[in-house]
Amino acid sequence: MDLTWMAWTWPTAALFVFIFASIALMGVLEWKFPGGAPRRGILGLDTTRGDRLFLSLLGSAFIFLGWLGLMGTPLWGFLAIAAAWSAFVFWKV
Amino acid sequence: MATKTDNQKAWFFVLPVVVLVAFNALIPLMTVVNYSVQETFGNNLFFWEGVGWFEQVLHSERFHAALGRQLMFTGIILAIEIPLGVAIALTMPRQGPWVPVCLVLMALPLLIPWNVVGSMWNIFALPEIGLLGRAINAMGIDYNYTQQPLAAWFTVILMDVWHWTSLVVLLAYAGLISIPDAYYQAAKIDGAKAWAVFRHIQLPKMKRVLTIAILLRFIDSFMIYTEPFVLTGGGPGNSTTFLSIDLVKIALGQFDLGPAGAMSLIYFVITLLVSWVFYTLMTRDDPK
């Protein structure tokens, strides 16, 4: 199958591998440690593990845009803030 | 509290949808992500650009202006269509021979394809030959949507209100007729005024359908393309160039696939965020 039209690059492939691996990880976690029923976090939302992953990724996308718009490259700061945001979401939200 | 089941067979029923979504949404989205970090001159030749296009789009005044116009357009049509739709639904009969007549009349604009709506209004609003254009000019108001930005905005908004208020009407009406008569009888016994009935019975009962109406109208108007493109072509100047029109100009007009990819993704995450907020609001009070 010729996939040249999709114009793959290693960084974008890594991004999607990361996203799909994260989704798979949620499945494995649920299988290993059941109990992924919704819980109420500090934002007053009932979230499952999948919801928290979605919020982490969506939030990270906005952190990326915000960092790039205000600070520009390099993106280490973005990575740190996005990691902190994701940890916060999984821990508290 | 959600209950968990051990039956995993349902996954197989979901599989066809997953495959379909993969083909019509996921693979194109992945391709857009790939485009957004590269430069191309055609012939499937791509050159690494990194996050440069995102920086360019984020700092581009053209993008800010298109986003501003888009938000203003969506805000205005929501502010008109939702109250107007509810008001019309409230005046519609709850029973009798006029119900089907009203429903069919309301459904008519929704059945017309976008490009036809654009063409209709294009001619209807022309100052020389169009009924609307001539009528407005006959009233002594100088109106020409092909030359005046304000007139173009007025026409685009009027067209959208004409095309889509019916959707809000039908949804609100569905919410209204689902209210049992007992509520109205109780209100009558209490001597409730029309406003109190609306505020405490009809509005709360319509909350769900109105949230759906706002969500649908937000998403639809936020990615509106065909109608304004056919009506004004984004003009005069850039005055009605909304996000999707600008996106198509960049992607297909200028063949700048990289910046267009970056712009699409920014557009996408904004839509995703707003949809998530609405979805959360909609399902928050659901009994678990």
Give this complex's ipTM: 0.89
Interface test with B, best of A65, A71, A89 (most B CBs within 10 A): A65
Q: How far apart are CA A48 and CA B247, in angstroms?
A: 35
Is residue B1 included in any domain, yes or no?
no
Residue B266 has its nearest CB partner, among A34, A54, A65, at: A65
Q: How far, in whole angstroms, is CA B75 from its chain's centroid?
A: 10
Residues B186 and B103 sit within 8 Å (Cβ to Cβ): no
Q: How far, in whole angstroms, is CA B250 from its chain's centroid?
A: 22
Is residue B6 included in any domain, yes or no?
no
- pLDDT at position A61 is 94
Q: Percent of chain A, pLDDT > 70?
A: 98
The model's pTM is: 0.85
Quick check: B269 and A37 CB within 8 A? no
Beta bridge partners of A39: A47
The count of C-alpha atoms lying within 13 angstroms of the C-alpha of B276, restricted to the half-sphere facing its C-beta, is: 16
Is residue B8 included in any domain, yes or no?
no
Both structure tokens of B284: 């928050």
Q: A8 Cβ partners below 8 Å, 6+ apart? A: B34
The tens place of each residue's pLDDT in chain B, 288 residues long, gives 455 556 778 778 889 998 998 889 889 999 999 999 988 887 778 888 888 899 999 999 999 999 999 999 999 999 999 999 999 999 998 888 999 999 999 999 999 998 999 999 999 999 888 899 999 999 989 888 888 999 999 999 999 999 999 999 999 999 998 888 888 888 889 888 888 888 888 888 888 889 889 989 998 999 899 999 999 888 788 889 999 999 999 888 888 888 999 999 999 999 899 888 888 887 776 654
- pLDDT at position A22 is 93
- pLDDT at position A84 is 92
Is residue B112 included in any domain, yes or no?
yes
HEC string for chain B: CCCCCCCCCHHHHHHHHHHHHHHHHHHHHHHHHHHHCEEECCCCCEEECCCHHHHHHHCCHHHHHHHHHHHHHHHHHHHHHHHHHHHHHHHCCCCCCHHHHHHHHHHHHHHCCHHHHHHHHHHHCCCCCCHHHHHHHHCCCCCCCCCCHHHHHHHHHHHHHHHHHHHHHHHHHHHHHCCCHHHHHHHHHCCCCHHHHHHHHHHHHHHHHHHHHHHHHHHHHHCCCHHHHHHCCCCCCCCCCCHHHHHHHHHHHCCCHHHHHHHHHHHHHHHHHHHHHHHHHHHCCCCC
Q: Is pLDDT at A85 greater than 60 in this prediction?
A: yes
DSSP state of A71: T
We report the CATH number of the domain holding residue B237 as: 1.10.3720.10
Sign of CA dihedral A29, A33, A35, A40: negative
- pLDDT at position B150 is 92
- The nearest alpha carbon in chain B to A67 belongs to B55
pLDDT tens for A17-44 read 999 999 999 889 888 888 777 778 777 7
Q: What are phi and psi of B38, to 5 degrees?
A: -135, 165
Residues B238 and B54 sit within 8 Å (Cβ to Cβ): no
Is residue B4 included in any domain, yes or no?
no
- The nearest alpha carbon in chain A to B280 belongs to A45
- pLDDT at position A14 is 92
Residues B242 and B224 sit within 8 Å (Cβ to Cβ): yes
Shortest distance between the Cα of A71 and any Cα of chain B, in A, equals: 10
Quick check: A7 and B4 CB within 8 A? no
- pLDDT at position B1 is 47
| Mean predicted lDDT score pLDDT of chain A | 87
- pLDDT at position A93 is 77
- pLDDT at position B5 is 57
- The nearest alpha carbon in chain A to B286 belongs to A46
- The nearest alpha carbon in chain B to A35 belongs to B4
Residue B55 has its nearest CB partner, among A15, A46, A72, at: A72
Nearest 5°: the CA angle A34, A39, A45 is 145
Shortest distance between the Cα of B245 and any Cα of chain A, in A, equals: 22
Tell me how many domains chain B contains: 1
The pLDDT of A82-86, averaged and rounded, is: 92
Q: Which domain holds residue B77?
A: 13-283
Residue count (chain A): 93
Single out the residue of B210, B213, B215 nearest to residue B273, CA to CA: B215
